[in-house]
Structure 1
Amino acid sequence: MSTKRAPLIMVFGISGVGKTTACEAFVKSNPTYFYDRASAIMQRAHRTAIEALRTTDSESIKSNQEVLPSAVMALRESFPYKIMLLDCHAIIDNDKGLVEVPLETIKDLKPDGFILLEADAIVVKQRRENAERVRPNRTVDQIEAERLEEQRTVRSYVSNLHVPLVIDNASINYDLASAIRRLDEKRFIS
């Protein structure tokens, strides 16, 4: 007999787009949701600094992702009646190149919907420069290339997994509520 769990919504976007800020603000005023970051889950599982996980070689980055499905499942079982928002990346900049998170990892998470947050590359660059968290220092053109690769990869997940997607511009003081509402409409229509 399987237990019915509340949905998992994966919130994608490149580093500095505003995922963490948007998710934390949304969860604070919506108690039927809970939130975690894929990088924080992996940090806890591997007992390694996030920066060390991010900057390793491509194959290690891909294999490090393998802990996510079981860890996320455990979190979902801990909060069976709360919808989970998972802040994550489809593309990881490891300082040597862009590494795609494998489709199998995303599939094994059993997501119910995707939100992709985007912002102008100039805005993302400014956010990265003003952040306390360590982030890759990239040119506006490199950030734009990463944004396009993130979008292409998320769209490939959608195509392969048939999971609804909402793409939103994460402007200043962005509110995730509208994207979640639109995603819910797509989930119920599909």
Structure 2
Amino acid sequence: MAHTTLGITGATGRIGGAVSRRLEERGVAHRLLVCSPHRVASHVAAANGLLDAATMDFADPDRVLRGPAGDGRVAAVARADVVDAALAVLFDPRGHERAAYTLTGPSALTLDEMARIMTRVTGQDHRYEPETLDEARASRAGHDPEPWQVGGWLSTDTAIASGELSRVTNDVETLTGHAPRSLEDVLRGA
């Protein structure tokens, strides 16, 4: 890969930014492909170690997970596992041509189960509060999101509710050689 320049999408986001930082650490030439160029300088400069030092912000300041996810399950994957899998493919692309992977955590959890794990690990009470779609739109308005972000949040919750995100795969371990991190692992900083 010594003469290859890689293109990284979403480099002002958490995962794309983490991939970019890891590539830079390894001295790999890469180009940032972003929608908001004005965010690059401040984000990249402030992002040193962001992935490893990020605090978990799944819940609102009152430690409540809200959304129209119902009793659906999600096999959420840790950001660090996505970064590890991306780098495994980037650094050894043989055998990955035209391949698609579904990266998941080790188990599919309901948001209520996630809240209980968060309570146990952090020692602070967390809870899940189901919302209707209209309630979810209203509760997210306080975050001053871009219109597309609200749609993304709501579609994720409704996909959880419908069971679309409940499948667990072994793709993280296949690509990285390590088991996927659990929510408890992520919260403990593992």
TM bin, normalised by shorter chain, reads under 0.3
Higher strand share: 1
Q: Which structure is richer in relative contact order (CA contacts within 8 A, separation 6 or more)?
A: 1
Provide TM-score, normalisation by structure 2. 0.26
Highest CA radius of gyration, 1 or 2? 2
